[in-house]
Chain A
Amino acid sequence: MKTIQSAMLLGLVVLFSLGCKKEPINNLSEEESRIYITDHDSTINFSNFHTFNVSDSVAVIQNGGEFHRLNATDSAYIDAVKNLMQSMGYVYLAKDQNPDLGITVNRILSTSTGVISYGSYWDYYSSYWDPFYWGFPGYGYGMPYGYAVYQITEGAVSVDMVDLKDAGNSGKLNIIWTGLIRGSGIYNPDVAQSQVKALFDQSSYLNKSL
């Protein structure tokens, strides 16, 4: 009888072992863990924009405040944006040469402010770039399209594209394209190019060479 009981007990152990849940996160590589969200003003014709400038530092948005930094990773992201915009047919101009587009790169490090939705991070921190930086002192920023809500509870890199060409007429700096990168291992200069490329690749309407 002990043999039968042992067999049943062994069977229980085997069954519970086989019945273990396969954890989705444990089956992801760093690359697979990442998501790329882009949004744009669908009323904008991007073929009307020909030149651009990229901010010379990264806005670090952390715990209710923001400051500007430029480390190796920040430089890598700024360079990636510059290179990839040029490869899509845009011409880089200095800030004082009246570029059509202003592009900012931002790191969002929310560690104690709780959950921030993708929709509201920009509302919270819309002043992280002084409009004076783009030559429009006193102007406000605008977002002429809606975000879907997506939860941000940890680090992210975002890239915002500002319409400088029409700012004088509209009286504000409209963000006409945004990209958000989230996931493991994104704060690494070695992956900056591929991360920005992923954002631009899924925004084919930006590409003048297609």
Chain B
Amino acid sequence: MSMVLAFLGFNANAQDNRLSLNLNYNYSFPLNSFRSDIVSKSSPRGFTGNLMYAISPKFSIGFATGYQDFYQKYDRQIYNLGKGQQVSAVLSNSLEQVPFMARAEYYPLGNATTFRPYVTLGAGGNFINYEQYLGEFGSSNSSVGFRGMAGVGVKVPLGIMQNWGIDVGGSYDFAPYHKFGMENLNTANVHAGLYLSFQ
């Protein structure tokens, strides 16, 4: 970590830290077609991260990524495979998403306050790995799609230099997914984590 920070020019004394690295735990709720067609259970297995550059006290741009794993096991049911053919199986759906997006943040109160509320927008791509199992027999499909997001949050600076702190917030993520009769992988998300600002 120290090597990374040194490489990025970390400076604890700087008042005008421009770069901010943010790491969050993320809890995600599937919505719409995602919820009705693949998994209805929310996912506690995820994280997000972003690296932002402040182009002004109120505005930052940067890159965001993350990881979220969704899983649900459905009780044994009989499914029709075709005329006269049926299969009885416990069905498991597993879906992983890895977004990679350009991100912008707007701080209406600037960066000199105790609480720094913000609104954010993002757009980019979404790596998707979808696996479906009938019993222990599975198949998988990997793809890349569009992903957009809109969110709100608040950062609370801590420490003497106030160059690190806590970030909490939420977002709505829009992810079209026109495969296997499904329409989207939209989610609502809440996150909490730490950020670190440096030059």
Contact = CB atoms under 8 A, between A and B. Distances in A.
Given A35-B87, A37-B86, A21 B135 contact: no
Interface centre among A4, A23, A183 (most CB of B within 10 A): A4
A193 interface: no
Interface stretch (B56-64, B74-82, B111-119, B172-180): B74-82
B69 A21 contact: yes
B2 to A, nearest CB: 6
A11 B23 contact: yes
A34 interface: yes
B12 A37 contact: no
A20 B83 contact: no
A183 B136 CA distance: 7
B86 A38 contact: yes
Contact of B81 (A33, A37, A151): A37
Contact of B88 (A1, A11, A14, A36): A36
Contacts of B194: 7-8, 11
B135 A28 contact: yes
Chain A interface bracket (under 10, 10 to 19, 20 to 34, 35 or more): 35 or more
Contacts of B76: 32
A183 B86 contact: no
Contacts, number: 127
A70 interface: no
Interface string B48-77: 010000000000000000011101010010
B23 A35 contact: no
Contacts of A8: 1, 21, 23, 164, 194, 196
Contact of A28 (B21, B90, B131): B90
A19 B47 contact: yes
B48 to A, nearest CB: 9
Given A4-B164, A19-B69, A42-B83, A198 B135 contact: no
A32 B87 CA distance: 13
Given A1-B12, A35-B134, A38-B85, 15 more contacts: A4-B163, A7-B164, A15-B47, A18-B45, A19-B45, A22-B69, A24-B71, A25-B138, A28-B135, A36-B88, A36-B89, A42-B84, A146-B82, A147-B85, A148-B82
